[in-house]
Chains A and B, each alone.
Chain A
């Protein structure tokens, strides 16, 4: 069974930093791109960032560009999201997702259970 387990969420003050981790199991981690998706309370899902499998290229939503970084350690089957200069609007549940990129059949599956990030003073 393919599983993703996020950790690292918590409460942080505005301007602070936090690192999320996502441990993967049940599939060949190093051949899949991985993404982070967030959901603010009562809001729509928002794609945050993706890291490719082959060359480690990274991509970010405009809302987090320059503040967040994404990385992966294939030896640990883990993807990370380093968040800095955090703002109240970054408060959300953050999900780790496996990207299966196959042309029009590209999809996000599975999803982790999510980790809550709260930015508040």
Chain B
């Protein structure tokens, strides 16, 4: 099984800051990675897929990068509405998908 190590588990930042979340799979997954945002009491929402492709309708303040065993999600110009838990998901080992542990972003 592919294990996903996501860090940090939580972070606190201020409005306007730039934050970076990291996801490291236990083996090479090329760019088979997507990112999701989950606000309290709601379902996750797709932000980015194929490591760096922004989902339609998602703010360009969100960006993803990386390949292989090191991926990052960056949020630029942090806004209060960005308070959420962010999850990474590997889709390399279809259909045995695995998520990261999640990162809680507080503003």
The residues of A with any CB-CB pair to B shorter than 8 Å are 33, 35, 37, 44-47, 50, 52, 59, 61, 95, 99, 101, 103-114
Contacts and interface: CB of A to CB of B under 8 A. Distances in A.
Contacts of A109: 46, 55
Given A44-B87, A111-B45, A112-B43, A104 B100 contact: no
B34 A108 contact: yes
B101 A59 contact: no
A113 B43 CA distance: 5
B97 A47 contact: yes
B30 to A, nearest CB: 6
Contacts of A112: 43
Interface string B81-107: 000000101010011111111100000
Contacts of A108: 34, 36, 44, 46, 89
A83 B94 CA distance: 22
Contacts of B73: none
Q: Describe B's contact surface by its main secondary structure.
A: loop
29 contacts: A33-B95, A35-B95, A35-B97, A37-B99, A44-B87, A44-B99, A44-B100, A44-B102, A45-B36, A45-B87, A46-B99, A47-B97, A47-B98, A47-B99, A50-B95, A50-B97, A95-B43, A101-B91, A104-B32, A106-B49, A107-B34, A107-B89, A108-B34, A108-B46, A109-B46, A109-B55, A111-B44, A113-B42, A114-B43
B46 A59 contact: no
Interface string B46-65: 10011101010000000000
